[in-house]
Amino acid sequence: MLAGLLAASHLAALEQVPALVGEHAAHAGLGEVLIYVADLQQQVLRLLTGHGKDAGEDAGGEPAELRIDTTLAGRGFQETRVLVRAASPGRAAHWWVPILDGTERMGMLRVNAPADAGEAQVEDMRALASLVALLMVSKRSHSDSYARLTRTRPMHVAAEMQWTLMPPLTFANTGMVISAAMEPAYEVGGDAFDYAIAGDVAHLGIFDAMGHDVSAGLTASLALAACRNNRRQGVDLATNTEKIEETLIGEFGRSTRYVTAILADLDTTTGVLTWVNRGHHPPVVIRGGRWTTSLACPPAHPMGLALGLPVTLCREQLQPGDRVLLYTDGITEARSAQGREFGLNRFVDFIIRHTADGLPVPETLRRLIHSVLDYHDGRLQDDATVLLTEWHGTAHHQLTMT
């Protein structure tokens, strides 16, 4: 099944993947297979067909769009686990299998198989879902069909630009988990986040450009591109922010366009977090299920203003299990219809409560963003972005803690 599908996929477009998956799944004794993809805001799962974004129902009677918060498929997506819906007499059961690229939740596979399928066949389903994820990742960047499928409404130009630059919403390895969320997904203007891994170091960044329009998007995009370019040349954090400022001033002039930011490096072997603050809200650390502290660091001026304030490099020793929150003011300053801010306390408490519930980091952020949107009646007046990093610690650190 896997070898045949892999060989057949090399010259296939995304639209051909569903048919190829169905054809080769039969070699493992699996019945009909359907691929459902999560939308950009992770509110619904949408059927991937060979015809772009289709509506209606498939041949098996399954709707082409499933709500993540109210369906069995959505529950499997939230909890990243295999679930089965009992079959009616004479029909195969529907198995729902998460489609994961690492820990990025891309969607769900619906596989027709006997309700009493053994562990070996369930493992075949998981293996198939893993290969489907890799195929989708390899083809989505040049597929307009995938972009249309994951959108539930038209996207503004600034948001189009920002999402093209963003890394995946979730990354994980044995030492850490990084997850992000950015709203309003279809109108975001001046916010951006970034992360990258280089050996034992995780580079983290969050940016908030002045304004909420295409110009703000251009400013944030230029700052992000300059940050990556400098970082990949081995520039340290403080110098990187100074070079970003030079780039912004060279393009827009002094005091015309500016960006606040936190740039940070996390040494995943030691847990030492190093960061600089360019006029941004300080990071928050959650430790042991409670809000420990906001990380104080003398802030320099926002990049682009050329005020000449010194850039200070700060350090914090993390403990295994610590969660570091980077966020923009759209998260905390979102207001209800009565004018009350969502606030930092509510934001951090939400993360703590859902951590206690044992939810994965990506699911916690998905629910956070939906809570912020509900608090603001579905419409944000400013960009709201959060980048959450959980450091697991090394085996040595974990042994020391126990």
What gap in Å lies between CA 335 and CA 372, rounded to an integer?
9
The residues pairing with 79 across neighbouring beta strands, listed in sequence order, are none
pLDDT band at 336 (very low <50, low <70, confident <90, very high): low
- Reply yes or no: is the peptide bond before residue 310 cis, omega within 30 of 0: no
Q: Report the share of the chain in percent with pLDDT over 90.
A: 69
362 has pLDDT over 60: yes
Give the least confident one: 15-29, 69-83, 388-402: 388-402
Is 90 exceeded by the pLDDT of residue 36?
yes
182, 155 contact by CB (below 8 A): no
Asked if the domains at 1-149 and 157-400 fall in one CATH topology, the answer is no
Q: What's the pLDDT score for residue 343?
A: 79
402, pLDDT greater than 70: no
Q: Pick the residue with more confidence: 298 or 369? A: 298
Domain map of the chain by residue range?
A: 1-149, 157-400
Alpha helices (H) in 166-232, listed in sequence order: 214-231
**259 vs 190: CA distance, rounded Å:** 9
Partners of 46 in beta bridges: 37, 65
Residue 198 region by backbone torsions, left for phi larger than 0, else alpha for psi between -120 and 50, else beta: beta
* pLDDT score for 184: 85
- With cut-offs at 50, 70 and 90, classify the pLDDT of residue 376: low
The DSSP secondary structure of 354-398, one letter per residue, reads HHHTT--HHHHHHHHHHHHHHHTTT--SS-EEEEEEEE---HHHH
DSSP letter for 26, please: G
**pTM (2 decimals)?**
0.88
CA distances from 100 to 54, 58, 135, 289 (A): 23, 23, 11, 27
Residue 87 has pLDDT above 80, yes or no: no
What pLDDT does residue 66 have? 96
Kindly tell me if the per-residue pLDDT of 40 is higher than 80. yes
Assess if CATH 3.40.50.150 describes domain 1-149: no
Rounded to the nearest 5°, which phi and psi values hold at 269? -85, -30
pLDDT of residue 337: 65
> 3-state class of 308 per DSSP?
coil
362 touches 323 (CB < 8 A): no
Per the CB < 8 A criterion, the answer to whether 52 and 163 are in contact is: no
CA distance 71 to 387: 28
For position 399, what pLDDT does the model report? Answer: 45
Percent of the chain with pLDDT over 70: 91
Cis amide prior to 184 (ω within 30 degrees): yes
Residue with tokens 């940070």: 264
Q: Report how far residue 310's alpha carbon sits from residue 6's, in angstroms, rounded to the nearest whole number.
A: 54
pLDDT of residue 400: 47
Contact 388, 213 (CB under 8 A): no
Report the top-level CATH class of 157-400: alpha beta
Does 359 score more than 90 pLDDT?
Answer: no
Write out the two tokens for 241: 């922010």
Distance CA 311, CA 218 (A): 24
pLDDT in tens, 240-295: 999 999 999 999 988 778 999 999 999 999 999 999 999 999 999 998 877 767 89
Model confidence pLDDT, tens digit, residues 180-232: 999 888 888 889 999 999 999 999 999 999 887 889 999 999 999 999 999 99
At 380, the pLDDT band (50, 70, 90 cuts) reads: low
Q: Which amino acid is at 385?
A: T
Question: CB atoms < 10 A from the CB of 293, how many?
Answer: 12
Strand-pair partners of 202: 197, 266
